[in-house]
Structure formats: C-alpha cells, structure tokens
Amino acid sequence: MAAAICLKDVARVAEDALVARAVRPAKAREILKPAYDLAAGKLTGIEPCDGLALLASGSQFRALALSAAVEDLAWVGERFAIRPLIPFVARDDGFWALAASQKRVRLFRGDRQGIDEVQVPGMPKSLEDVLPETHPKRNLQFHTAKWGSDVKKDAAFHGQGGAVDHEKERLLILFQDIDRALAALLRDDDRPLVFAGVDYLLPIYQSTNGYRKLLAEHVSGSPDLLSDAQLHERVFAIVKPSFERAQQSALGEFNRLLSAGAASDSVHEILTAAVEGRIKSLFTVETTAPLWGTFDPRMNLVAIHPQQTPASEDLVDRACAEVIAHGGDVYAVSKGSLEGDPPMGAIFRYTATGATTGQSLGER
C-alpha cells in the first residue's frame, strides 16, 4: 500500500512537470496512465522487487525491476534519465555462469540485476547428448590450450590405457564439447566465467577449458537444485570483489592522471570530451544532487544554473548519456571517492589536439 501511494505521488509530480513544459493536461495524463494503473493494481506482469524504474513517453512505457531500493524521483525531459540507473546497469559488472550437471548443461549471461539463460549453438544439453552410457568409448587423447594461444599442454586424461574410469571419460567428452561450443561465442569476450556444479566436476572442466577468464572459485553443489535467483545470488557473490577491484583501479588511475592533464573534473571539459567520444571512463557521485544547466555543443558553451529552469538538464546525466553512446565506461562511486569532491570526473582516451575554444558560465 505504501509503495502504491509513493508511486501515485511520483506520477502526479511528473504530470505537473509535463504540464509546466506546455504539454496538454490530457496528453500528460495519457502518458502517465500506465503508472497510475500500476499504482491502482490494474497493471499485471511486474514481479515483486526492491525498486522500480518506470520509463514513459507518448509512444512507450517500460517497467524495470531493480535489485535495491531507490530514492523517489520524477524526471521529465527530452530523454529518459540515465544517471539513477547507472548502479544497476554498469558495464563492469557483467559475467557468465556455466551451470553443469550430468543431466543438464546451461550457460547464463548475468549482471548485478539478474541472469538470463543463453542458447549456445552446438553445446550439449546433457551427458546423454554427447555419449550415451552404452556407447563405445571415444579416443580421448587430446591437447588443451587457451583460445587464441598456440601453447598447448597435455590434458590429464587419456582413453588408451589410462586409469580413468568410464564415467570420467564420458564427462571429459562432455566438457570438451562444451568448451568447443563456448569458444565460438566467448572467444573475444573478457567477462568472468563462473562454474556451477558439484566439486568433482570442476577439475574435469578446468582440464578442457580454454576461456582465460574462468574463475578459480565456483558455486559448489548441483545447480539443478537452485532457482535462477539463487544461482544469480551465489555467482554474483563470487564475481563482485573483482568488479570492485576494477573500479578501485580505475579510480586510482583517475587520481594519478588528473594532474597530468589526461583526466579532468571540469564540467566543461568533460561534456566537450564526452560529445567528441574522447572519454574512456566517467565517474559520477551517487549522492550528488542534479547539476542543472545547459550545454550547447555547437558553440561549446556550458552554463550552470543555480536552480532548475524549464531549459535545464542535469549535466551529469547528459555526460553519462554521451559516454555510454560512445562506448565508454560509467561508474557510480561514493561521495569522497574523487579528490576535491567534484560532481563527476573522467579519464580521457586521448586529449584534444590544439586549443579548444569555448565558455563555461558558473561552473562549480
């Protein structure tokens, strides 16, 4: 009930803001009707969640379930807000999970929000897919190598005269075929891969694996007994520390490069570089209030507004949108992470050549 009241209040604020921007009241109500319907319990198909983001326009409505509670916010502008969602969709938190048992093999793509099963062409779905128990043995002599590497080593299993029992030989064939299928999908990927399965399967898979980002730690136990949500929780607990280390490394790089001119905390410099596609990494402070202002890329003019006006946009959100559009990384960091406590900071891919002309009014 409380959540429904909050949603209705946020929708009313958004409706008033639309009308203030010269949208007809009937049109504003039409745009926000799905939000009002959701608050009234008339909209189905949305699973219970800790937080919710609603994206509404004249042509579309989307509801995004979030894995954590968020501050109530009504945003009205020329585009959807990106900044509040950065902690949930950061590019640095993607991973793969291979859930394997003798009866079922699945690959999942995941991030901090959840996991989705991915269909992999040619990947066996069970042990029976590759070699029925009564099938004659296949020759198991082979070599392993990381994908893209010419350096090979002998595997620990052999099919001619080895002491490995028939069941392990069948499992070895299964994981060889899995690795062969994954190579076509993940060869150029760099996201971590976590194995989920009973302990005795891990060394067999490791002996065949060619993916460099397979983590040593795994989800122990049969993944067939876990729901997707439970599997996500256990896998993300394994990969989260590596993501945090990557962010800390990027922050350290920012603080080192700031004095050298290869990074900046200037709103004007960051917006200019973002539009030009020159930003490698952007850091936004999670608790920072909107930085209202305008940016004219044609005139290279930034104006900071002491308070929001009908022409204002959040300049930090604008920077996030530009960096993502140009393939850069955006991190949401805690207050105090950036030296001098600016609203944002950026590491450049390269610095602009020649003098840059432009003006920044009221930058803080």
Whether residue 254 lies inside any domain: the answer is: no
Q: What is the DSSP letter of 5?
A: H
Q: pTM of the entire structure?
A: 0.64
Can you give the pLDDT at residue 75?
A: 83
Model pLDDT, residue 237? 95
Q: Which residues of the chain have pLDDT under 70?
A: 1, 45-47, 89-93, 131-165, 353-364
Kindly report, residue by residue over 226-250, the tens digit of the pLDDT. Answer: 999 999 999 999 999 988 888 888 8
Per-residue tokens: 59: 């042509």
Same domain? For 98 and 239 the reply is yes
Q: Residue 132: its pLDDT value, please? A: 55
Residues 193 and 318 in one domain: no
Select from 219, 245, 271 the last residue of a domain.
245
Closest among 229, 245, 152 to 192, alpha carbons compared:
245
For residues 119 and 187, state if they share a domain: yes
**Alpha carbon distances (Å) from 62 to 11, 113, 198, 277:** 14, 16, 39, 28
- Picking from 23, 48, 76, the residue at the C-terminal end of a domain is 76
In a domain, 255, yes or no: no
Same domain, yes or no: 277 and 316: yes
pLDDT at 163: 38
Residues 99 and 231 in one domain: yes
Residue 319 lies in a domain: yes
Q: 222 with 126, same domain?
A: yes
pLDDT at 152: 45
In a domain, 313, yes or no: yes
Please report the pLDDT score of residue 146 as a whole number. 64
Same domain, 268 and 154: no
Q: What is the CATH number of the domain that holds 156?
A: 3.30.420
- 62 and 98 in a single domain? The answer is no
Which residues are CB-contacts of 21 (< 8 A; sequence separation ≥ 6)? Answer: 76, 310
At 52 the pLDDT is: 86
pLDDT of residue 212: 93
CA 215, CA 213: separation in Å to the nearest integer?
6
Report helix, strand or coil for 146. coil
285: number of Cβ within 10 Å: 19
DSSP 141-179: --EE--TT----EE-S--SSS----HHHHHHHHHHHHHH
pLDDT tens-digit series, residues 111-141: 887 899 999 999 999 887 776 554 555 554 4
Which residues share a beta bridge with 296? 301
Nearest to 129, CA basis, from 196, 193, 178: 178
Say yes or no: 7 and 136 in one domain: no
Q: Give me the pLDDT at residue 322, please.
A: 94
For 65, the enclosing helix (H) or strand (E) is: strand 61-66
Q: What is the DSSP string of 219-261?
A: EES-GGGS-HHHHHHHHHHHHHHHHHHHHHHHHHHHHHHGGGT
Residues 239 and 287 in one domain: no
The reported pLDDT for the residue numbered 144 is: 53
Whether residues 145 and 231 share a domain: the answer is yes
Distances in whole angstroms, Cα of residue 46 to Cα of each of 35, 50, 52, 304: 12, 12, 10, 39
> Does 84 reside within a domain?
no
Cβ-contact 356, 301 below 8 angstroms? no
CA distance 208 to 173: 9
Asked, for residue 87, whether it belongs to a domain, the answer is: no
Q: Is residue 222 within 8 Å of 202, Cβ to Cβ? A: no
Instruction: Find the domain containing 22 and state its range.
Output: 2-76
Backbone angles phi, psi at 349, to 5 degrees: -70, -40
Task: Select from 213, 245, 277 the last residue of a domain.
Answer: 245
Distance between CA 92 and CA 246 in Å, rounded? Answer: 8
Give me the number of domains the chain comprises: 3
d(CA 86, CA 93): 11
Please report whether residue 27 resides in a domain.
Answer: yes
Pair (272, 158) in one structural domain? no
- pLDDT reported for residue 133: 52
